[in-house]
Structure 1
Amino acid sequence: MAADSPTDYVQHHLQHLTLSIGDGGFWTLNIDTLIFSWVTGLLFLGLFYSVARKMHSGVPGRLQGFIEVLVSFADNTVKDAFHGSRDFLGPLALTIFMWVLFWNLLDLLPVDWVPELAMAMGIPYLRILPSADMNATFGLSITVLLLMITYSVKGKGFAGFGKELLTHPFGKWLAPFNLILNLVETLAKPVSLGMRLFGNLYAAELIFILIALLPWWVQWLPGGAWAIFHILVIPLQAFIFMVLSCVYIGLSYEEH
């Protein structure tokens, strides 16, 4: 993709397709993040739905067997971290893992392909990696925070939830300190969850962009090496996000 300088090239690839609502730009939507989040989510749902419709009790095919392994893997992860009913958290863990995995896989596409296609269609900017957008990763982590609060109230009741905030860990006489400490601890979990995924994928995306600045006949060597390493990072980050989400919700559900 043509650019005036390497700086312009990098800035172009890191620019989102946005839509601002109202004055001041506070309500600004990253349209590309929303589009590719929906696309990857629908791909995940379509894949699993098509396999579920063809599922039978005989010898499973390779795809069915792989899907069954993923379902069992997510369910066992929840089982180890959460001791209540897994009817909701099992599918949630699977959805988190697959959705983040599909997000991350988009980073393996050559960095110029989709932006150049978008420019040919008159779209000036298009960034395809949702997990390199802090809005997307924090959207997921804030959802986990809301589930933490929900399951904390479900497991302890409103009275038990409030009592824990005020009395743990130093007792009722230090209630203000307990409240501050518990609020910081609770908020730190989704912040670290969202920042970890964003930081890893943003750095990976940036390295691919920098490699694309090299002459085409050199790109294959560092690009191939980084892609091979990144193949290990992609499922690892999805796994970490899923496991920590289950652990945080499980810890919120249990009594201290």
Structure 2
Amino acid sequence: MSAEHAQAPANATEYIKHHLTFLQSHGEGFWRFNLDTFWIALFLGFIFLFVFGLAARRATSGVPGRLQNFVEMVVEMVDAQIKDAFHAKSKVIGPLSLTIFVWVFLMNSMDFLPVDLLPKVASWFGVHYLRAVPTADVNQTFAMSISVMFLIIGFSISAKGLGGYTKELFTAPFHASGPMAIVLAPVNFAFQLIELLAKPISLALRLFGNMYAGELIFILIALLPWWIQWVLGAPWAIFHILVVTLQAFVFMMLTIVYLSLAVEDH
């Protein structure tokens, strides 16, 4: 790290650039890795597993504790959404939906930490760049949405068979018979491909856009004098609770809906 990078930001522009710079591994282009996104997301994933695993181990049929009540409330909420939107049988959809909702919520919630807190702590250990919100990184949101796309393909093949799914790619949405089926096959395939690619793109950009905007607003508020930061920061933080929760819920619900559509015939 150069001496110039090691210095504190000198003005508002440098301050914003500093807080929007990722801690990256060595390498160029595709091979450069955002280490802060990876490690914070992984750490939050383990927190989710630990808390929910602890609640499962301590679960009782008697009077439940606060942790069990909270976990049961979240599980019942997710289960209710699955019953409303997913009309097939699957052992995967429940754990998948729960993991998506809680993990995305935890990653989004990192936006509630003071913007200077984690970068300041990291600087004590010689780390001069750190972004604390993994979902404000488009690489993270696209990684999750592309995983959903592969799940859509997998669910489709599992429900319809490889031959059935391949046939659907070339026969829907414009069903035809005879010579017209051959003529419309490339058109159907193009529409199917557009639909398949649009789903992960919309999933990724919706989550990224909302969280990046929230992160940027908190950074701008942090540039204000300390005595006015709470006047603007507190209302925005309260409103952001809705944004954080809603974006996790939307990502989960769209995943359930997409997988439900994947197992149904057109």
Normalised by the size of structure 1, how large is the TM-score?
0.96
1:78 and 1:137 map into 2 onto residues whose CA distance is: 22
Aligned to 1:9: 15
Count residues in correspondence.
Answer: 254
Which residue, out of 184, 198, 221, partners 2:194? Answer: 184
Secondary structure (helix, strand or coil) at the match of 1:111 reads coil
2:105 and 2:202 map into 1 onto residues whose CA distance is: 18
Which residue, out of 38, 55, 59, partners 2:59? Answer: 55
Cα distance, 1:87 vs structure 2: 1.7
Which residue, out of 210, 217, 231, partners 1:207? Answer: 217
Q: Is the 8 A contact 1:103 1:131 kept in 2?
A: yes
Which residue, out of 99, 105, 112, partners 1:101? Answer: 105
Cα distance, 1:81 vs structure 2: 1.8
Cα distance, 1:86 vs structure 2: 3.4
Q: Is the 8 A contact 1:212 1:219 kept in 2?
A: yes
Normalised by the size of structure 2, how large is the TM-score?
0.93
The aligned amino acid for 1:210 is L
- Where in structure 2 are the equivalents of 1:155-194 lying within 5 Å? 155-171=159-175, 172=181, 173-194=183-204
Which residue, out of 211, 230, 247, partners 1:220? Answer: 230
Cα distance, 1:155 vs structure 2: 1.0
1:15 and 1:53 map into 2 onto residues whose CA distance is: 40
Aligned to 1:116: 120
Aligned to 1:237: 247
1:31 and 1:103 map into 2 onto residues whose CA distance is: 15
Aligned to 1:197: 207
Larger deviation, residues 77-86 vs 54-63: 77-86
Whether 1:151 aligns to 2:161 is no
Q: Is the 8 A contact 1:75 1:86 kept in 2?
A: no
Q: Give structure 2 stretches of 5+ with no counterpart.
A: 1-6, 176-180
Aligned to 2:48: 44
Cα distance, 1:185 vs structure 2: 0.8
Cα distance, 1:181 vs structure 2: 0.8
Larger deviation, residues 1-10 vs 84-93: 1-10
1:152 and 1:224 map into 2 onto residues whose CA distance is: 46
Larger deviation, residues 206-215 vs 163-172: 163-172
Secondary structure (helix, strand or coil) at the match of 2:62 reads coil
CA RMSD of aligned residues (A): 1.2
Q: Is the 8 A contact 1:140 1:194 kept in 2?
A: yes
1:98 and 1:242 map into 2 onto residues whose CA distance is: 9
Q: Is the 8 A contact 1:152 1:161 kept in 2?
A: yes
Aligned to 1:78: 82
Aligned to 2:141: 137
1:26 and 1:228 map into 2 onto residues whose CA distance is: 37
Cα distance, 1:20 vs structure 2: 2.8
Cα distance, 1:77 vs structure 2: 1.4
Larger deviation, residues 76-85 vs 212-221: 76-85
Q: Give structure 1 stretches of 5+ with no counterpart.
A: none
Which residue, out of 119, 125, 128, partners 2:129? Answer: 125
Cα distance, 1:191 vs structure 2: 0.5
Cα distance, 1:162 vs structure 2: 1.0
1:133 and 1:156 map into 2 onto residues whose CA distance is: 35
2:86 and 2:139 map into 1 onto residues whose CA distance is: 28
- Cα distance per residue 1:69-89 (max 9 Å; x no partner): 111211221222222223211
- Cα distance per residue 1:210-244 (max 9 Å; x no partner): 00000111101111111010011111100000000
